[in-house]
Amino acid sequence: MIQKLTTLDGTPISRFAFGTMQFGAGADRAASQAMYDASRAAGINHFDTAHVYTDGASETFLGEMIAPHRDQVFVATKAAYTGGSTRATILSSAKTSLQRMKIDVIDALYLHRFDPDTDMHETFGALAELKQEGVIRYVGISNFAAWQAMKAVYMANMADLEIALIQPMYNVVKRQAEVEILPMAEDMGMLCAPYSPLGGGLLTGKYDGKGTGRLTQDARYAARYDFDYMHRAAQELTRIAAREDVHPATLAVAWAAAHPTSPSPILSGRSLEQLKPSLAAIGYDLSDALYAELAGLVPAPPPATDRAEEA
């Protein structure tokens, strides 16, 4: 059973999360505030950031916004994207995040990515220190393969911890998480909060008109989605959205949330106008038939055993 994570005042966290990666970069302070307010109005109380986002502006902005109602929101941040998952890096990162956000406790601290070079005894010993000191409430992992996640579960248990959350990439054209991450998370009781439900903007329809965004401005995203079949699927998604009289982004987010394991997609944007179609997915009723049609836009990944008869 998936853990029931709560805010400090005991409220269950929302089905969807909002990610603040654009705070202080694509979104200035005013635009960031508008998106935060709209997310709260839509019922979101789960906010995701990271130590490395926008040189600290993301955490700083978020801390200012949550100040009037800190106990009513769930704040997740990440450590050790750089510097390795060492004790020194984790403790320093957590301290900096607390200072930037002006909070006393981090609801969830993720390891931002797997570190093959640091002994996990050291990593989870540091996280256990933070948990025992009341600095963090939950531990999460991000960008981990399933085998890495299970190794983390084992090492966390040795430190009297548990992995409460996992954050993979997941969207209509990036479905690798279906093979092992999503079923593993459900089996182990982890909340799965996938990022990039819009595929870096690919699934919003804007690139049909040669629009600009991450896919044209960020080499990592360009390489990540530089496959013809993904662009063909995005064009077909746009066509289906027009037929259904709904924004492509709404369909994409609703689809990512509709997987049988009930993941909690992280929504984001650079402006309120850009965010609105994603927020609309919160109340969108995606039929089984439409879910299947969208799933058929790209081939499903083979099962972990690679035995086609088990698909």
pLDDT above 80: residue 1: no
Name residues whose C-beta falls within 8 Å of residue 25's C-beta, 6 or more positions apart in sequence. Answer: 53, 54, 57, 58
Contact present, 84 and 117 (Cβ < 8 Å): yes
pLDDT above 70: residue 307: yes
Name residues whose C-beta falls within 8 Å of residue 307's C-beta, 6 or more positions apart in sequence. Answer: none
Helical ranges in the chain per DSSP H:
29-41, 57-66, 87-101, 120-132, 146-158, 181-188, 214-217, 219-224, 228-244, 248-257, 272-280, 288-295
**What span, in angstroms and rounded, lies between the C-alpha atoms of 205 and 99?**
39
Query: Can you tell me the mean pLDDT for 166-188?
Result: 98
Q: How far from 237 is each of 70, 231, 311, CA to CA, in Å?
A: 38, 10, 24
In a domain, 130, yes or no: yes
Q: Tell me what pLDDT residue 208 has.
A: 65
pLDDT above 90: residue 260: yes
243: its two tokens:
């037929």
Backbone angles phi, psi at 46, to 5 degrees: -110, 115
Q: How confident is the model at residue 211 (pLDDT cuts 50, 70, 90)?
A: low
Query: Can you tell me the mean pLDDT for 94-114?
Result: 98
Query: Can you tell me the mean pLDDT for 234-252?
Result: 98
pLDDT above 90: residue 243: yes
In a domain, 113, yes or no: yes
Query: Can you tell me the mean pLDDT for 191-209?
Result: 90
Q: Tell me what pLDDT residue 212 has.
A: 65
In a domain, 72, yes or no: yes
Q: Tell me what pLDDT residue 168 has.
A: 98
pLDDT above 70: residue 31: yes
State the amino acid at position 291 in one-letter form: Y
In a domain, 146, yes or no: yes
Please tell me the total count of domains within the chain: 1
Please give the distance of CA 258 from its chain centroid, rounded to a whole number: 15
In a domain, 295, yes or no: no
Contact present, 80 and 49 (Cβ < 8 Å): no
In a domain, 207, yes or no: no
* Percent of the chain residues past pLDDT 90, beyond the cut: 90
In a domain, 229, yes or no: no
pLDDT above 90: residue 144: yes
In a domain, 284, yes or no: no
12-16, 22-26, 70-74, 216-220: least confidently modelled range = 216-220
pLDDT above 90: residue 112: yes
Query: Can you tell me the mean pLDDT for 144-169?
Result: 98
* Percent of the chain residues past pLDDT 70, beyond the cut: 98
pLDDT above 80: residue 116: yes
Q: Tell me what pLDDT residue 278 has.
A: 98
CATH assignment of the domain containing 144: 3.20.20.100
Q: How far from 78 is each of 6, 89, 127, 166, CA to CA, in Å?
A: 18, 11, 12, 11
Q: Tell me what pLDDT residue 122 has.
A: 98
**What span, in angstroms and rounded, lies between the C-alpha atoms of 201 and 197?**
9
Q: Tell me what pLDDT residue 218 has.
A: 79
pLDDT above 70: residue 209: no
Range of the domain at 53: 1-167
143: its two tokens:
């960008």
Strands 266-267 and 46-48: unpaired
Query: Can you tell me the mean pLDDT for 227-251?
Result: 97
Mean pLDDT of the chain: 95
